[in-house]
Amino acid sequence: MFRLICLLSAFLLASTMSQAQDAPVALFADSVIYEGQTQLVRARGNVEVYFEGATLSAAEITYNAQTERLRATGPLRLETEDGTVFLADLAELSADLQEGLIQGARLLVAQQFQLAAVEAQRTGEGRFTTLYKTVGSACNVCEENPTPIWQIRAERVIQDTQEGQIYFEDAWLDVIGVPVFYLPSLRIADPSKGRASGLLVPELSNSDIYGYGAKIPYYLVIGDHADATFTPFLTSKGGVILETEYRQQFSNGRIDLNGAFAFDDGLGGEPGRSYIDATGNFALPREFEGRFRLNVAGDDAFLRQFGYSTADRLQSFAIIDRYRQKDAFELRFAGFDSLRDDEDDTLIPFVLPEISYRRILKDTPLGGRLGLEGNVLNLAREDGRNVLRFGAGVDWRRDWTLASGLQVATFTDLALDIYQTGNDPAFDEDAVSRLTPTAGFELRYPLARQTENATHVIEPIAQVLYTSDTEDTDIPNEDSLLPELDETSLFSLNRFPGQDVYEAGLRANLGISYTRFDPDGWNLGVTLGQVLRAEENTQFSDGTGLAGRSSDYVAAISFETRNISVVNRHLFDTELDFKRSDLSVDLAYDRLTLGTDLIFLAEDNSNTDLGFVPASNEFAFEATYQATDNWRLGAEWRYDLSEGENIFAEGQLSYGNECIRLDLSVSRRFTTSDDVPPSTDIGLDVRLAGIGGNIRDRWPADRCMRGLR
C-alpha cells in the first residue's frame, strides 16, 4: 500500500517532466516528496525512472522543475536505448536523461566492453559521451588478480553513438599491467553497433620468404547490405600489398570478393602481382539457383609466397542448376588456372559450356523406374584439341523382393554420344556417333541373425551385366582418364568416371559384406569383392586393378564406436601384392580430437595417357587438444614415407577467454618448386573483444586468473 501511495505521488513528477519534454515519463520509488515552493521533487529508495527507452535507477533522485535538471545519487545505473549502461556514484542530468555530468562513471558497451572514468559528460542530446582519465577493457577481473590481461588507458574517450565510433586520445595499450604500445589517437567501432566502420586488430607474421609482416585491417560499412575490409600488408623486405574484401547481400543471394594487389612485393618482382577470388550465389526464379567463382592468380607463386593458398590449381566457374525430386538440370561454364611448374595453361580446356538434364519416371507400363537424360559438353583450348559432345540416354531398373528374402533387380541402359573433334590431327574432324547398350541383373540376399551379444548381418551380392564393345578409336578421352576400383565403385555399371569411355563386355561384379552391431554401441563391417569377365579386358591399365579377366580384390574394413572411427581400404591381387591401401583413424574423446591417414599407391607405368606414376606412400596427422578450458593445442604433420622426407608440419597454440583470443602458429613447408622454396612461417593473430569485432568462438571466462595459467 505504501508503494502504491508513492506511485500516485510520483504522478506529479511525471506530469512536470512530461510537460517539459512532451513525452511520457514513469517514476517508481519507495517515497516521493514534492516541495511546491521550490518545485523540487525528491524520490528516495529503489528509485526508477523510465523515459523514451532510457532507464535510470538510483538510491535518490531530485528533480528541479525550474531548471529541468535531475540529480541522482548512487549507486546509480543508467541504461540508454541502445543498450549502453552507465554505473556511477553521482549524476547531474537533463530531464530527458540525454545530457549531463556523471561522476565516477563506469560505462558498459554491448555487455562486453567496459570503460571506467573519473568523470563522464553526455552532450548532443545523448549522441556524445566524453570520458576523462579513462581505462577500458573487456576482461573480467577479481579480487585475487585485479589486473586485466589487456586494457587501454586514455586521457579522453569520446563515444559517438550516431556514427558508431569510439575515439581514444593520448592512449596506452597495457598487457598484464605493462604499457606496450602508445597511440596518440585511436578509433574503433562501437561494439554496441552491429556494423560500424573502424580499424580492426592488426595481425603479425614472419616468413622465410617475405620476412616480418604486419596487417592493419580497416572495416568500412558501405550500406545496410554491403561492407568492405581494406588491409595494408607491410613486410620487412619492403613489400607493400593491399588486401581487399568486399561483401554484399541481396534479397536473393550474396557476393564475396577477395583479392590482393602488390605495389611492391619486396622480393624483386614486378609491381602488380595479384590474385582475385570472387564467389556468389543467388536464388533464381522457378526454383533455379545460380552460383559462380572467379579464382585467378597473376603468377604461379604469389599465393604460396604470401600464404594466401597452397592450391596448385585454381578453378573458376558459373553454374545454374535445379534439383528436384524427379528431375535435375545443370548448366556449367568452367576454366582452370594451373600453378604447377610442369603444366601449360594453354593446353588445359575451358568448359564452354556443359549442360545436363535428367528426369525420373516411376509410373511406367513395365513398372520400376525409367530415367531419361541429355547432355552437351564443349571443351575449348587455346592450343590443342577442341571437343564438342552431344549425349542422350535412357535407363530402366526394377526391383523385387521374393518371399525367401532374396532381392532381385534387372536393369538396362542405352547411351547415344555424338562427337565433333577439331584441331587435332589424330582424330577425324567429321562427326562421330556411338550407341552403347547395357543390360544386366542383380541378386542380393541379406541374412540377419540375432544373438544374445550382437546382431550379425551377412549380404552376398552378385551383379551380372553386359555392355556392347564399341570402337572408340575416333573418340577422344577427356573425362575418363582415372578409373578406380574400390568398395564404392564395385557395383557401378561403368567404372570410368566420365562418359568418353564405357566399360565393355560380359562381366560379373561379386561381393560380400558382413556387419556386426554390438549393443554396447560399436559396429564392425567387412566388405570383399572382385570383378570377373568372360573375356580379357584391355581398356584398363594394370595399375587400376581392373585389367584382365579378373580384377584385383577390393577389401574394406570399418570399425566405429561413439568416439573412434577406423576405415581401412585395400586393393590387392591373389599374391597379396597391394596396388592401393589407405587407413584412416578418427578419434574424438573428451578434450582430444585426432585424425590420421596412411596412404599407399603402388608405382604405375601402364597408363599411356598419364605416363609414369611413381609410388606414393604418405602419412598425415592432425590433432587438437583442449588442455584446459582456456588453452588449446593443435598439430598437423605430413610425411613422405617413400622418400623419407617431411612434407609439411605445423603447430598451433591458442588461448581464449571472455576478452581475448590469441592464436600462435608455426609452420614449415618442406616441398619446393621453381618459384617457391621451402619456408617457415610464424603467425600471431590477436582478437580483443570489443576492439574491432567480437570473438566468434565461445571461450569460458577466466575470471580469477593467476597470470596466464
SS3 513: strand
Q: What is the spatial distance between Cα 238 and Cα 263, in angstroms, rounded to a whole number?
A: 10
Q: What is the pLDDT of residue 632?
A: 94
What mean pLDDT is predicted for residues 193-215? 85
Asked if the model's pLDDT at residue 485 lies above 60, the reply is: yes
Question: Mean pLDDT for the chain?
Answer: 88
Cell, residue 690: 570489443
Positive or negative, the CA dihedral 313, 376, 278, 252 is negative
66 compared with 288, residue with greater pLDDT: 288
User: CA nearest 656: which of 621, 623, 694?
Assistant: 694
Q: Is the pLDDT of residue 158 over 70?
A: yes
pLDDT at 709 over 70: no
Kindly report the three-state secondary structure assignment for every residue of 139-197. Answer: CCCECCECCCCEEEEEEEEEEECCCCEEEEEEEEEEECCEEEEEEEEEEEECCCCCCCC
8 near 29, Cβ under 8 Å? no
Of the candidate ranges 117-121, 234-238, 315-319, the one whose mean pLDDT is the lowest: 117-121
At residue 491, does pLDDT exceed 50?
Answer: yes
Amino acid present at 664: L
Q: To the nearest whole percent, how much of the chain has pLDDT over 70?
A: 94
**What was the pLDDT predicted at 257?**
97
pLDDT, residue 698, reads 66
The reported pLDDT for the residue numbered 660 is: 86
Give me the pLDDT at residue 182, please. 87
Are 133 and 692 in contact by the 8 Å Cβ rule? The answer is no
Output 611 or 432, whichever has higher pLDDT.
Answer: 432
Residue 557: helix, strand or coil by DSSP?
strand
Pair type for strands 128-137 and 455-467? unpaired
Residue 534 pLDDT grade (very low, low, confident, very high; cuts 50, 70, 90): very high
> Among 176-180, 194-198, 594-598, 700-704, which range has the highest average pLDDT?
594-598
Q: What is the pLDDT of residues 314-361, one digit of tens each?
A: 999 999 999 999 999 999 999 999 998 888 888 999 999 999 999 999
pLDDT digits (tens, 9 = 90+) for 53-62: 788 899 898 8
Read off the pLDDT band of 288 (50, 70, 90): very high
Q: Find residue 422's DSSP bridge partners.
A: 386
User: What pLDDT score does 703 carry?
Assistant: 52
Q: Is the pLDDT of residue 365 over 90?
A: no
pLDDT tens column, 401-435:
999 999 999 999 999 999 999 998 888 888 999 99
Q: Which of 75-84, 108-117, 337-346 has the highest mean pLDDT?
A: 337-346
Coil, strand or helix: which one is 629? coil
Q: Any idea which of 364-378, 601-615, 660-674 has the lowest mean pLDDT?
A: 601-615
Residue 10, pLDDT score:
46
Predicted local confidence at residue 708, as pLDDT? 38
Q: What whole-number distance in Å separates Cα of residue 136 and Cα of residue 107?
A: 9
DSSP state of 613: B
- Asked if residue 19 has pLDDT above 70, the reply is no
What percentage of the chain exceeds 90 in pLDDT?
52
CB distance 213 to 239 below 8 Å: yes
Q: Tell me what the mean pLDDT of segment 639-668 comes to.
A: 91
Q: What's the rounded Cα separation, in Å, for the pair 640 and 649? A: 12
Q: Is the pLDDT of residue 258 over 70?
A: yes
pLDDT confidence of residue 611: 74
> Which of the given ranges, 125-129, 267-271, 529-533, 704-708, has the highest pLDDT on average?
529-533
Q: Residue 377 above 80 pLDDT?
A: yes
Quick one: pLDDT band at residue 187, thresholds 50, 70, 90? confident
